Structure 1
Amino acid sequence: MSNKPYGASAALVDIISAPSKVIDWLREHPGSVWLPLLILIGSTSALFAYYYQWVDMDWLIDRTLSVMTPEERAMNEETTRTLMTPVGLSAITFASTIFVVVIVYALQGAYLHLMSKLSGAEGLRFMHWFSLSAWANFVGIIGILAGVLTLIMADNNQLGQEELMSLNTNLLLGASPGDRWFTWATSLTPFTIWAIALIGLGYARWTHCSTGKAMVIAFAPWVLIHGGWAAVLLLRG
């Protein structure tokens, strides 16, 4: 039997296959947060940088302009054509990925930290919850790998961003770019639900509350945000 100490490299696999093991390890190693963050930022940025070099850019620009109203197109066409270059789009993607991965996970960690404090849990700092959020969301790497396969298997280079990252609720709704439900549908992925479930599992193991209560706490912000968003879309008709 190997006596090799458990570390972050093993956790990258186990967060998918044996998440409880990783969660227990994170309880003692909350500072091990940067590896999944860097991999998610790097792999997402690399995938889209390649995509923007590969895609038919004239087609992508025309497709983007086609969902604008005539007034919007008149105001924004020149700026859109200037910004929509492989380098420009790659830079925007890199910056937005950093924002989502770092800021959103930090907000998620702050929320979990607050809830744990209110429940009376001891010995858990913000970094514990930030780390749990980052590691749980690492399951999204599967979606990135699926995007790579989509590029490899594409018949031509006229492929939209939503088709590159196609494992989302829009597979069921079939909304087109420009439809009011399109952004909502493409923002919901099975990896998001998987990650939140892992966060709920971690909350239960660390605070010793029931699994049901932990899942309610973990899913509450997601349900409120996307439920409220859906309600607004429905009211707008």
Structure 2
Amino acid sequence: MTQKPTSTRNAAGGETSLRQIAYERIEDLLNWGRLRPGQIISQRELVEMTGVTLGSVREAIPRFEAEGLLQTVPQRGLMVPSLDVAFVREAYQMRRLIELGAVPDLCGRLEKSVVQGWIDWHLDARARLGQDEVDSLSGFLRDFQLFDWQMHSHMVEAMENKLISNVYRVTAIKIRMAAQSRVRVTRQNATRVISEHLDFLTPLLQGQCDATAQALSRHINQSLTLALGGTIPA
């Protein structure tokens, strides 16, 4: 279904350029697997999928190319790059460096109320998943995935370093692109991730930086195992 831009105003009240809207909508296509590694797509197909103008798509493309998220193939269009096992390992190494590097800032800067809010959200999600029937499970799992991405991004932003935050954002998109054929957000996976998140959020709330880093490292290791097609013991 074609998306239509509803506003050109951002939350701060400033103008949001059509190029930025186009970028964000193409980014969503990559994040959610509607554009897959190795796929060839035309600019006009992107216009149809995003609901923005051809001019704004063309203006957004150089940024995707610079970030390694799209490649121009002469006479054919745009290609979503194929990402191999070596890349997945390297991307997770980058993720580990950034997220674990953020732990001291999380302990020193992040408000306890934010961490408590994350814990409460996870406890509520776990209770809902424990029910025999969950209304609109697919919608709930999509919301859970989005919350997961946003929380980890917020954690990195505690470093207050825009350069690192942008490197992390692009790396995260590539990880999702590479792993989406192997990892599915299911009730079982969501339950596991909730437990792993609580394992590092609880010591974070208590100001225990070493325990936070250790639990976060285990969580990243588990994610890498799944991204490489492995399995995790129940």
What TM-score does the superposition give when structure 2 sets the normalisation length? 0.28
- Kindly name which structure, 1 or 2, has the bigger radius of gyration based on alpha carbons: 1
More helix by share: 1
What TM-score does the superposition give when structure 1 sets the normalisation length? 0.28
